């Protein structure tokens, strides 16, 4: 277990190293002089010279990269040009909002995806299986920002049940917070539910064909007990690990969902940064997202081992 | 007809080529055929757009602003009085082009790189794999948005950004498939009779990784179409006034209370075309699965 962890950690470091190079290289895609772009409105020579000196744009690329990486490793992602605040501070401020949204979405996904997958596997090739597969296909094919717009149209504009946009934090007002996040959480969770359902179905089908399930049935256990205690428990391992990976995809989905529902989270931060040509914020957000994703990957692997006694 | 050609003809009828066998299996699946028909329909609509669209997609009309669907404008009109049906018909080409071109970029870059990594192994593989991991560590859409933002907003740049963001998927797929193929007896045999490396890679390994790549590419087109719509929705794709389903949804959001039809139809188009590609991809996967023969 420890050697495995050590080996896995040793893999994470080069991955993150390449991530940092990749994100640093994004800057090179900017057409023209980066100093001009970074300066934004101020275009006088002195400001440009200051920026060139500050970001070491006059030095060779590898040197620039090392300075940038040095800053990042100390938690210094640079400063947002538009609001003159450190990028790290902005990220930390927005992260809890997206985390709340993501957790709720993940709950929605598990509550829909796992039972649907179990039912589909148990009733393979029958009506329930077809329905569950159809719903999953629907979930995978609906662009989530459109689903968000349609939900606003129905629940906010037509019925007036839920606020169409905005966000209240949990600490401020619990129920209001749930009201502002339930629609975006459903929108985000919907696509993940589809993926989880497919994983659950195939994991369950594999397990249901095993000898110990036949033994459990043969000794006269109720079908419910066989399915939940014997089959689902064993199928849980791949479901949990794949689920953790999907959590990373939530961050991707959050970008558009937060935009549609004007929720001031991580996704809104990157979109606003893109519109304001606030490139250091874009770089910072992508880097943090990638780090979160890599960590989740690692956690998924650890969970896989912890949940599976044969691998311990 | 000579006797020789007659024999080959009967032999061909008896032993189907793998491609034909897969096609026959694909056509037996109703869902896949439905997907194929819908895709074909949208391709036709995109190609014939200038002739079948009832109105000019960019012509504004101040007398027909935000009109509900009617006999004159089947899908209604938008905030500038443009006919939504015509804009959807013209927008089909942007969506399909974005899907196909960006996936072609991803396949053209990803498959050779993955083949190289899987075939050569060693330090080349180690470097390619780490870079692939690094790219896969950045969520797909976030990477595409960041890249499109740095490249500058346009449909062409959106396609490049989506294509490059999707490349690692194909690198990983081609690498895995190559490694699985390399241990097969026929590759060993090809090596034993003295084929050069490039010939083994191109003639013996490459054809065997085509089926999984084809399946993944079909599903990736669905993903790329959603990604293009997302980027256009954010203003990073197709630029106004040229029509695109994503940017139409962006405009629609501001008039949701007054003109819901502006939001319903473009989104429905994305949904239908993406569903069709997903159905086709799932069908291809079953048809090309060697275990299911």
Long-range pairs, A226-232, Cβ under 8 A, ≥24: A227/A118, A227/A122, A231/A204, A231/A207, A232/A118, A232/A204, A232/A207
The number of CA neighbours under 13 Å toward the Cβ of B28 is 9
CA A160 to chain CA centroid, nearest Å: 30
Q: Is the pLDDT of residue B18 over 80?
A: no
pLDDT of residue B114: 93
pTM: 0.86
Tokens coding B33: 């055929």
Each residue's pLDDT tens digit, B206-215: 888 888 899 9
Distance from CA of B267 to the nearest CA of A (A): 6
Each residue's pLDDT tens digit, B173-204: 999 889 888 888 888 898 889 888 888 888 88
Of A69-78, A106-115, A274-283, B1-10, the poorest mean pLDDT is in: B1-10
d(CA A128, CA A116): 9
Say what the ipTM of the complex is.
Answer: 0.83
d(CA B205, CA B115): 8
Mutate which: A9, A29, A87, vs B, most B CBs within 10 A:
A29
pLDDT of residue B269: 92
Which of chain B's residues have a Cβ under 8 Å away from the Cβ of A192?
none
pLDDT of residue A62: 83
Give me the mean pLDDT over the B68-81 stretch. Answer: 76
Mean pLDDT of chain A: 81
Residue A248 preceded by cis peptide, ω within 30:
no
d(CA B39, CA B155): 21
- Say if CB A190 and CB A147 are below 8 A apart: yes
- Which residue did the predictor score with more confidence, A307 or B146? B146
Interface of A with B in 248-267 (CB under 8 A): 248-249, 251-253, 255-256, 259-260
The verdict on a CB contact (< 8 Å) between B133 and A152 is: no
Interface of A with B in 12-31 (CB under 8 A): 14-19, 21-23, 26-27, 29-31
Q: Which of B190, B61, B94 is nearest to B72 (CA)?
A: B61
Total length of chain B: 293
Q: Is the pLDDT of residue B232 over 60?
A: yes
pLDDT of residue B293: 44
The verdict on a CB contact (< 8 Å) between A149 and B249 is: yes
Each residue's pLDDT tens digit, A173-215: 778 888 888 889 999 888 888 888 888 888 888 888 788 888 8
- Say if CB A197 and CB A113 are below 8 A apart: yes
What is the percentage of chain B residues whose pLDDT exceeds 70? 93
d(CA A237, CA A273): 39
CB atoms within 10 A of CB B243: 26
Show the 3-state SS of B2-65. CHHHHHHHHHHHHCCCHHHHHHHHHHHCHHHHHHHHHHHHHHHHHHCHHHHCCCCCCCCCCCCC
Which among B229, B256, B279 has CB closest to A143? B229
Alpha-carbon distances, residue B199 vs B45, B187, B212 (angstroms) = 42, 11, 21
């Amino acid at each position: 277990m420890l050697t495995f962890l050590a080996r896995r950690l040793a893999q994470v470091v080069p991955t993150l190293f390449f991530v940092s190079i990749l994100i640093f290289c994004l800057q090179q895609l900017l057409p023209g002089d980066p100093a001009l772009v970074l300066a934004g409105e101020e275009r006088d020579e002195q400001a440009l010279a200051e920026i060139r000196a500050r970001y070491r744009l006059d030095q060779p690329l590898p040197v620039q990269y090392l300075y940038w990486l040095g800053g990042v490793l100390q938690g210094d992602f640079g400063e947002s040009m538009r609001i003159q605040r450190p990028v790290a501070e902005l990220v930390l401020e927005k992260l809890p909002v997206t985390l709340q949204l993501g957790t709720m979405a993940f709950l929605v996904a598990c509550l829909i995806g796992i039972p649907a997958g179990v039912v589909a596997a148990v009733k393979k090739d029958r009506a329930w299986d077809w329905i569950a597969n159809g719903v999953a296909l629907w979930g995978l094919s609906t662009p989530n920002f459109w689903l968000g717009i349609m939900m606003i149209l129905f629940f906010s504009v037509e019925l007036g049940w839920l606020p169409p946009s905005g966000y209240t934090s949990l600490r401020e007002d619990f129920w209001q917070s749930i009201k502002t996040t339930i629609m975006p959480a459903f929108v985000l969770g919907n696509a993940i539910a589809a993926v989880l359902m497919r994983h659950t179905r195939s994991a369950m089908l594999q397990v249901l064909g095993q000898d110990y399930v036949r033994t459990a049935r043969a000794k006269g256990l109720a079908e419910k007990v066989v399915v939940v205690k014997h089959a689902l428990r064993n199928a849980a391992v791949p479901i949990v690990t794949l689920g953790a990976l999907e959590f990373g995809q939530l961050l991707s989905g959050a970008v558009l969902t937060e935009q549609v529902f004007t929720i001031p989270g991580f996704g809104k931060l990157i979109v606003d940064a893109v519109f304001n040509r606030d490139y250091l914020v874009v770089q910072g957000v992508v880097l943090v997202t990638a780090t979160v994703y890599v960590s989740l990957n690692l956690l998924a692997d650890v969970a896989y081992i912890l949940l599976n006694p044969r691998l311990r | 007809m000579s006797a020789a050609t007659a024999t080959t003809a009967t032999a061909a009828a008896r032993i189907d080529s793998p491609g034909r066998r897969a096609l026959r299996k694909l056509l037996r699946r109703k869902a896949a055929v439905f997907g194929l028909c819908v895709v074909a329909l949208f391709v036709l609509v995109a190609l014939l757009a200038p002739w079948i669209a009832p109105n000019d997609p960019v012509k504004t009309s101040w007398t027909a602003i935000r009109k509900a669907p009617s006999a004159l404008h089947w899908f209604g009109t938008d905030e500038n009085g443009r006919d939504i049906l015509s804009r959807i018909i013209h927008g089909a080409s942007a969506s399909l082009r974005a899907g196909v071109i960006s996936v072609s970029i991803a396949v053209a870059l990803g498959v050779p790189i993955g083949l190289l990594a899987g075939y050569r192994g060693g330090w080349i593989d180690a470097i390619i794999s780490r870079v692939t991991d690094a790219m896969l560590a950045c969520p797909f859409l976030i990477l595409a948005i960041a890249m499109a933002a740095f490249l500058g907003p346009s449909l062409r740049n959106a396609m490049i950004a989506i294509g490059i963001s999707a490349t690692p998927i194909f690198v990983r797929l081609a690498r895995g498939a190559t490694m699985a193929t390399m241990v097969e007896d026929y590759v060993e045999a090809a090596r034993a009779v003295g084929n050069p490396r490039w010939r083994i890679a191109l003639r013996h390994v490459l054809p065997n990784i085509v089926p999984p790549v084809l399946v993944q590419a079909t599903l990736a087109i669905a993903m790329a179409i959603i990604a293009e719509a997302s980027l256009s929705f954010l203003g990073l794709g197709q630029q106004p006034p040229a029509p695109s389903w994503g940017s139409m949804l962006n405009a629609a959001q501001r008039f949701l209370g007054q003109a819901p039809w502006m939001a319903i139809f473009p989104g429905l188009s994305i949904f239908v075309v993406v569903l069709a590609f997903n159905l086709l991809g799932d069908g291809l996967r079953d048809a090309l699965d060697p275990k299911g023969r």
